[in-house]
Amino acid sequence: MSRRLYWLLLPLLALLLDWGSKQWILALLKDKGSLPVIPGFFHLTLGFNSGAIFGVLATAPMLVRHIVFGVAGLGALGYFGYEFLKEATPNLQRFALGLILGGALGNGLDRIVHGAVVDFLDFIFFGWHYWTFNIADSCIVCGAILMGLSLVIHKPETS
């Protein structure tokens, strides 16, 4: 088996961690809504985001959201999946893409199963209440940061 195929374990692991954490939180908080872990700093708070990042498009008609998220999701999976499996992709970039793919699959699966993304990580910094997020979101953000670092280290050839 090609070594590149072993890399598929990374997005699969990200997807499984995300999905497992969401199933756990749905069972834990179904009747509670929120559970302080470190009061005033970190809570587990069950939320559903029917929109995109920071709730963008949350008030758009359901059909519009389905079309936008479906087209964007399939386009992203196609592009990032191609780059992920390409033989010439450097390992740091492949790792970043694996995190992005796993996160995108996790949030996409939520949209299919729940009609919205399940969020539960809830932080407050010096009185500022940050948006609630999940493991998939963390994978996407960390992957994007690593992708930027990879592009600085491995500058793409220009013609």
Q: Which amino acid is at 71?
A: V
| Among 18, 110, 122, 137, the one annotated catalytic | 137
Annotated catalytic residue: which of 18, 110, 119, 122? 119
Q: Which residues are CB-contacts of 50 (< 8 A; sequence separation ≥ 6)?
A: 58, 65, 115, 116, 117
Active site residue 137: yes
| 110 is a catalytic site residue | no
Residues involved in catalysis: 119, 137
